[in-house]
Amino acid sequence: MIPIKDLNPSRSIPVVTILIIFACILVFTYEMILPPDYREIFIRMFAVIPYEIMTGTDIPPPDPLTPYGNLVSYQYLHGGLLHIFGNMLFLWIFGDNVEDRLGKVKYFLFYTFCGVVAALVQSIVYPVSQIPLIGASGAISGVLGAYAVLFPRAQIVTLIFIFFFVDIIILPALLWIAIWFFIQFFSALISVTHLSMGGVAWYAHIGGFLTGVLIAKLFFRNTAEERELT
């Protein structure tokens, strides 16, 4: 189930979303031009290491931003072309409307905060893990949570795959995001039996998403309803 676009035009240019996408692509390009050994060192210097977060210990190589500063920097690192392409696609489709509703500064702070909480949740679930956590998906999950609250009736043009059957359908945003969240939740339950394994940070997705839902409900839902009525 791959989103192609939403049928929910924004009223302004999503400057912050564009800048975040540009920053992620720029950092990823730098990662790719590094030799493999240096790339691994670079990632470990700026990624979130759950063990470091939970113990306050900086495992070599040293973190220039300290382990806690990496709660922000990890959001701009990615592990491969599919990783960054998927994240940037989701951010482009869902981020513009949330940015439009929240405003530029609030949106950036919201996005970053969701990413921080996502990494903390992942670290709490896997407190002894020394596997680097990288990617914007925790923050983007928060954007999805806010989108579900603020634009539940928006429509998402979706590419679906069922065995050899491929089609394009239109789904309500609330249904689309509910299916997405069920996949994250179910995958997280399965992954808990493989605590030492790397892979997708499912609990970061869940933590970021629930943070986005909560913030949107507490601070922005009433504003959205008032605007729809005027």
CATH of the domain at 112: 1.20.1540.10
Structural domain includes residue 89: yes
The reported pLDDT for the residue numbered 166 is 87
Domain that holds residue 66: 9-151+201-229
Structural domain includes residue 28: yes
Structural domain includes residue 163: no
Handedness of CA 150, 156, 91, 210 (dihedral sign): positive
The reported pLDDT for the residue numbered 221 is 66
The pTM of the whole model exceeds 0.85: yes
The reported pLDDT for the residue numbered 192 is 66
pLDDT along the chain (230 residues), means of 10: 91 96 98 95 96 93 94 96 96 96 96 98 93 96 97 94 86 96 89 61 95 92 48
Domain count, the chain: 1
Confirm if 51 and 20 have CB atoms less than 8 A apart: no
The reported pLDDT for the residue numbered 225 is 47
Structural domain includes residue 46: yes
Structural domain includes residue 118: yes
Structural domain includes residue 190: no
The reported pLDDT for the residue numbered 194 is 55
Structural domain includes residue 71: yes
Name the packing angle between helices 104-125 and 81-102 (round to 10°).
Answer: 130
HSE on the CB side for 74, CA within 13 Å? 33
The reported pLDDT for the residue numbered 64 is 93
Structural domain includes residue 187: no
